[in-house]
Chain A
């Protein structure tokens, strides 16, 4: 049982490059989330999808776009990467829309130089 799987695990980008972070869950969950984690800042919500077909902005959406491809997959895209987007990105999912327990992936460590 894989749970929440994120790819890639590590990535280095040059300023201005674009990339997509992939996330897939095999728990038949309805809601999915993207958070970023920075030292001393905790986990901040970038975007979320309460259910298939919907997406909403979180606390720090600028510079990002998302796609809820299907019930299993939720991708995060950086169109023009900036050094301020250097962070660890976590995808999470929960069973019911905006319901209690969220299950997290292992994270993607992104460095923008």
Chain B
């Protein structure tokens, strides 16, 4: 049973456009929702994260939107750049109880 469902599997965006990746979860005990970014040949690295007590968190061009009632959260990349081309993973955990569980990933390609 997949605990975190991520879509789309792949995404192509024009340079300067907005990239949007969505995730949904079922376990209401999850209390931390990070996004990880992975470049080819590298390990994933934390990009941005949110807790369910806020509906939005912004760091530079990256924004997480969180909808607790719908059990959904999404990553928005504004003004997408070719350097943003990578695989993005959403994840979730129940702090102190369960390790991170990951979505299946979205391969983002930003084309000029």
Contacts and interface: CB of A to CB of B under 8 A. Distances in A.
A42 B96 contact: no
9 contacts: A42-B103, A92-B43, A98-B93, A98-B98, A99-B96, A100-B32, A100-B95, A102-B46, A106-B41
Nearest to A59: B101
Contact of B89 (A42, A58, A101): A42
A102 B100 contact: yes
Interface of A: 4, 31, 33, 35, 40-45, 48, 58-59, 90, 92, 96-107
B6 A42 contact: yes
Given A40-B104, A106-B43, A98 B99 contact: yes
B45 A48 contact: no
B102 A42 contact: yes
Interface in B61-112: 89, 93-105
